[in-house]
Chains A and B, each alone.
Chain A
Amino acid sequence: MSQAAKRVATSSVQWQKLTERLTASHVAELTRLKGQNSTFSAQVNQLPNDLPKIDFAALKKQLPAHSAILDSLQKQYETLSIPYGQIPEQFNKEIEKWVEYNNARIKLHELKTADGAVAAKKVEEKWAKAPPVEHFDRQHFAEYFPQIFYDLRYQKRIPDPCNVGLNDTDQLEARFKDYKVLRRADKVDDH
């Protein structure tokens, strides 16, 4: 790995455009990252870019008594090299893991979109096929508004005069599916 990684000082990301493109579910994450980016940028901008240039000759002229010390300082200063370092590999691996996770998320969303598109298409086709509501006949009401108009030819419904919602789910039917009335012990079938 090369020692001299590219030095960054400003953000290369267009935050405004990105904010416009994202939906509400990604806003929190983006805000967090934007905050981090601004914090680090502020730190970077506050600190000096490079080592300052110091005129040792003038200092030696000014302080001739300490010229030996100044010489040694100059030598140290000019031979000094601060290592830039590099980002640990572990974090790059984290980024790759995140990329995999994101791809899986995208795939899931695509599947959901496909299913939903099928359902939406079904709904739109159903209503495109229907006649105008003013010209509905008796069977159309049960066909197109099954929540309101029920058809007892193929629906098992129990009376619900107070509109409690007994027919909305099949919970009652499932609960009492094998419900049998308690039989008397001495009741026999042969007579």
Chain B
Amino acid sequence: MLSRVASAPKARLVAIIPVRSASDAAVPALTPEENPGIFQKISMRFKGTPLKSETHAPKSMFDDIGKQFVPPEPLPKVPKDYKEFPERDLVNFPYPERPTFEPKTRFLMIPDSWCTPFHKVTGASGPYLFYGGLFAFMLNKELWVYEEQGHMLCGWILLYIIAKNAYGYRIDKSLYKGYQERMDYFKGLIQEDLKEATEFRKNSAAETEALKAVKDSFPTIFKENMALQLEAAYRRNIQSVSTELKRRLDYLQETEATKQRFERDLLLKLISEGVQKSIDTNEGNIKDAYLDNCIAQLKTLSTK
């Protein structure tokens, strides 16, 4: 095919020169979403969103920030009227149920129940101002002096907050799992005890039933077995009697048959010998007479 082009006499086009302008060499501009700066990247890391070159965010200790572990199943309720002993006073000494969560605290130091009475009087900020003021007063008047390493508390508190946010969820989850296993172990022990009791009841009831059946039926079986043996002995006697009689009758019949067979054989032999002898000796010229008889018969046959 190219040979046709090659054989063209006139070459109008010498070379093809591609022409590109300077603007064609530049890369198209990226938007801020596509090209995050360093601070955007840090923010994305904190948020847990994966960067452009990643399929998922890398595993970090800050994954669990903001998560609070809540036990999936609440603790079972103790009945309101549960008394360990009949004389128990439930009004003044209610049964000490184990609470699911520890009592609420503000800043892990001041119980919530010491703060809520302030709300009616001073509003939400009341407890903080009161206790803060108390702390400041005691500090200022040197009623409560804390040691010089107290400045490190800020750092320790910060580290605690970081650790709690990073690992608190995971620690709670694993501790709950251990608690569940312990409770399941105890419950297993209880079930074993109860299972033993119910199994004993079931087995002893079955054994009672079996013994009753044995008592009702085994004597019958014993008697029946003995009766069957007796019957078998009787039938064996019958069989022997009938066998003996049959032998005797068979003997008589066989002797009679033998005798008759012998008589018949003897008679036949006698007759045939006699006939043979008379033929051989030609007694009374029987041969001629036989021949004449045959010829006569043949004649009669030929006429038919």
Q: Is the CB of B194 within 8 A of A124?
A: yes
Q: Is the CB of B211 within 8 A of A109?
A: yes
**Assembly CA distance A89 to B296 (angstroms):** 94
Task: Give every chain A residue within 8 A of B253 (Cβ-Cβ).
Answer: 59, 62-63
- Identify the stretch in B75-83, B129-137, B145-153, B283-291 within 8 Å (CB) of chain A at 4 or more residues: B75-83
Q: Residue on A with the closest CB to B256?
A: A63
**Assembly CA distance A50 to B238 (angstroms):** 7
**Assembly CA distance A33 to B222 (angstroms):** 8
Chain B 40-67 residues near chain A, CB threshold 8 A: none
Q: Is the CB of B97 within 8 A of A91?
A: no
Task: Give every chain B residue within 8 A of A52 (Cβ-Cβ).
Answer: 242
B190 within 8 Å of A (CB atoms): yes
* Pick from A18, A65, A137: contact of B96, CB under 8 Å: A137
Q: Residue on A with the closest CB to B187?
A: A133
B231 within 8 Å of A (CB atoms): yes
* Pick from A37, A63, A82, A117: contact of B228, CB under 8 Å: A37
**Assembly CA distance A82 to B236 (angstroms):** 11
Over the window 100-130 of chain A, the binary record of Cβ atoms lying under 8 Å from chain B Cβ atoms (1 yes, 0 no) is 0011011001101100110111011001010
Q: Is the CB of A135 within 8 A of B232?
A: no
Task: Give every chain A residue within 8 A of B196 (Cβ-Cβ).
Answer: 120, 123
- Given A91-B226, A105-B211, A127-B194, decide whether A117 and B231 contact each other with a Cβ distance below 8 A: no
Q: Is the CB of B230 within 8 A of A86?
A: yes
**Assembly CA distance A25 to B71 (angstroms):** 50
B279 within 8 Å of A (CB atoms): no
Most chain-A CB neighbours within 10 Å: which of B98, B206, B226, B229? B226
Q: Is the CB of A82 within 8 A of B241?
A: yes
- Count contacts on A: residues with CB < 8 A to the other chain: 71
* Pick from B190, B230, B242: contact of A48, CB under 8 Å: B242
Task: Give every chain A residue within 8 A of B268 (Cβ-Cβ).
Answer: none
Task: Give every chain B residue within 8 A of A166 (Cβ-Cβ).
Answer: none
Q: Is the CB of A133 within 8 A of B208?
A: no
A77 within 8 Å of B (CB atoms): yes
B215 within 8 Å of A (CB atoms): yes
**Assembly CA distance A89 to B225 (angstroms):** 15
Q: Is the CB of A70 within 8 A of B227?
A: no
Over the window 197-228 of chain B, the binary record of Cβ atoms lying under 8 Å from chain A Cβ atoms (1 yes, 0 no) is 11011011011111111110111111111111
Q: Is the CB of A48 within 8 A of B238?
A: yes
Chain A 46-99 residues near chain B, CB threshold 8 A: 47-52, 54, 59, 62-63, 65-66, 69-70, 73, 77, 80, 82, 84-87, 91, 95, 98-99
Task: Give every chain A residue within 8 A of B96 (Cβ-Cβ).
Answer: 135, 137
- 18 pairs, CB–CB < 8 Å, chain A vs chain B: A18-B217, A23-B203, A23-B210, A26-B214, A40-B232, A44-B232, A47-B239, A50-B238, A63-B252, A73-B245, A73-B248, A82-B237, A87-B227, A109-B207, A109-B211, A113-B207, A123-B193, A133-B187
A-B interface, 8 closest residue pairs, ranked by CB to CB distance from nearest? A47-B235, A40-B228, A120-B197, A21-B213, A43-B232, A113-B204, A23-B210, A8-B227
Besides A23-B206, A84-B234, A145-B189, 9 new A-B residue pairs in contact (Cβ under 8 A), listed by A number: A8-B231, A12-B224, A48-B239, A49-B238, A87-B227, A95-B223, A106-B211, A110-B208, A120-B198
**Residues of A that sit less than 8 Å from B by CB:** 5-9, 11-13, 18, 21-23, 25-26, 33, 36-37, 40-41, 43-44, 47-52, 54, 59, 62-63, 65-66, 69-70, 73, 77, 80, 82, 84-87, 91, 95, 98-99, 102-103, 105-106, 109-110, 112-113, 116-117, 119-121, 123-124, 127, 129, 131-135, 137, 145
**Residues of B that sit less than 8 Å from A by CB:** 75-76, 78, 82, 84, 95-98, 183, 186-187, 189-190, 193-194, 196-198, 200-201, 203-204, 206-215, 217-239, 241-242, 245, 248-249, 252-253, 256
